[in-house]
A and B are shown apart, each in its own frame.
Chain A
């Protein structure tokens, strides 16, 4: 641990509190997390230098700055690599191709990522507790509509931006085109290798005939 232990522990306590309060609103996620109980995940971040040990329990998630015991999965990398894993649509591919260094069993880590990525909180419960059944439900409906509109708008904006960059402005090639290109390059590389070995074989045969 590089930062002051008091500060580090305080940060862990604050994050753990916030995370577990959020999990209280997501009973399904908590049930799924309980399936990973007693697994310990070590996250070593190089930049910034930080170590976090994460242990799912039946009550939520335990975050620790230090852990002296068996680790199920240890992951090392920069903060940006971890962010990529958290937001990845295909986390397994991100783990293999990304900048993260993995030790131990990857399956529980992918399961944890899936559980947290599908976190579905019941925001209506605390609103109903605070405002009552009718008003709470109305507020929740409004928030849901606003969130739905926000999600749709952001998806639409991302799609249009993607289309503009790839198709209209032709600033960068589309992903499929790029993958085709890489495949062609790989194929070409293989053919060159085969041609080179064939040429060597022919040269050796020629040398034998001359000798």
Chain B
């Protein structure tokens, strides 16, 4: 197997064609307890990170928004309220279990009318060119097999002037925080996963995939290489999470 045909799945080197299936298995396994685990793992701070993403999105009434890897629909729910009846929000996820949980959750909240649910691969988005004012992908990009391909696909479906927001785990900006974060990720998270979701492997993968994800500057460069302009990022919680923003010229 040549180097070009492999990618990482956590710390493991796997065939590119196998990664999507392996990631899918992880999310099939955690879908039902995804929200609970997010709250437990982050102490609820993931809601603040997502809120900041919504603020930076600049989404307004009448906008079309695509939430890729939208999972259980936290961002899509808020976007649906903001864009109103004249807007459109598409919640896309490659994983049908996650999409099912997200759709049930949003419908139970009474959100409908401007919401669409699409099972889609971020690398090959099934939408016409220049369809959206804003695209968000929260905690999803690191699971995508070919990130460059996905970024180019997002650029294609964005309208000129539209913005992409990538919310993703990143590299802590202090050595001390980095050590504490490592200890938390590799000791506490798998244990929490075993106790709450009865699945420690998925949370081991979570910790490993975060370490393998490009750091802040690398991801910004990747976005620029894909064709985005005015690329910048905001570190949150000491760089544990970073929000990258890029605009389609």
Contacts and interface: CB of A to CB of B under 8 A. Distances in A.
A59 B110 CA distance: 15
B52 A9 contact: yes
Tell which of A6, A12, A64 has the most Cβ of chain B within 10 Å.
A6
A66 B56 contact: yes
A81 B45 CA distance: 33
Contacts of B51: 9, 12-13
Given A6-B236, A6-B237, A69 B48 contact: no
A65 B52 CA distance: 8
Contacts of A6: 45, 48-49, 52, 236-237
Contacts of A10: 45, 48
Given A5-B236, A6-B45, A6-B237, A68 B58 contact: yes
B234 to A, nearest CB: 5
Contact of A67 (B48, B49, B58): B58
Task: Give the bracket for the number of chain A residues in contact with chain B.
Answer: 10 to 19
B187 interface: no
Contact of B55 (A38, A59, A67): A67
A67 B57 CA distance: 8
Interface in B46-74: 47-49, 51-52, 55-56, 58, 60-61
Contacts of B47: 13
A120 B225 CA distance: 55
B48 to A, nearest CB: 5
Interface in A66-99: 66-69
Task: Classify the interface of chain B: helix, strand, loop or mixed.
Answer: helix
Contacts of A38: 60-61
Interface in B196-247: 234-237
Contacts of B56: 66, 68
A64 B55 contact: yes
Contacts of A67: 55, 58
Nearest to A59: B81
B18 to A, nearest CB: 36
Nearest to B235: A5
B61 A9 contact: no
A67 B55 CA distance: 6
Contacts of B234: 5
B204 to A, nearest CB: 26
Contacts of A64: 55
Interface of A: 4-6, 9-10, 12-13, 38, 59, 64-69
Interface of B: 45, 47-49, 51-52, 55-56, 58, 60-61, 81, 234-237
Given A6-B236, A13-B51, A67-B55, 18 more contacts: A5-B52, A5-B234, A5-B235, A5-B236, A6-B45, A9-B52, A10-B45, A10-B48, A12-B51, A38-B60, A38-B61, A59-B81, A65-B55, A66-B56, A68-B56, A68-B58, A69-B58, A69-B60
5 nearest CB pairs, A to B: A68-B58, A9-B52, A6-B236, A66-B55, A64-B55
23 contacts: A4-B236, A5-B52, A5-B235, A5-B236, A6-B49, A6-B52, A6-B237, A9-B52, A9-B55, A10-B45, A10-B48, A13-B47, A13-B48, A13-B51, A38-B60, A59-B81, A65-B52, A65-B55, A66-B52, A66-B56, A67-B58, A68-B56, A69-B60
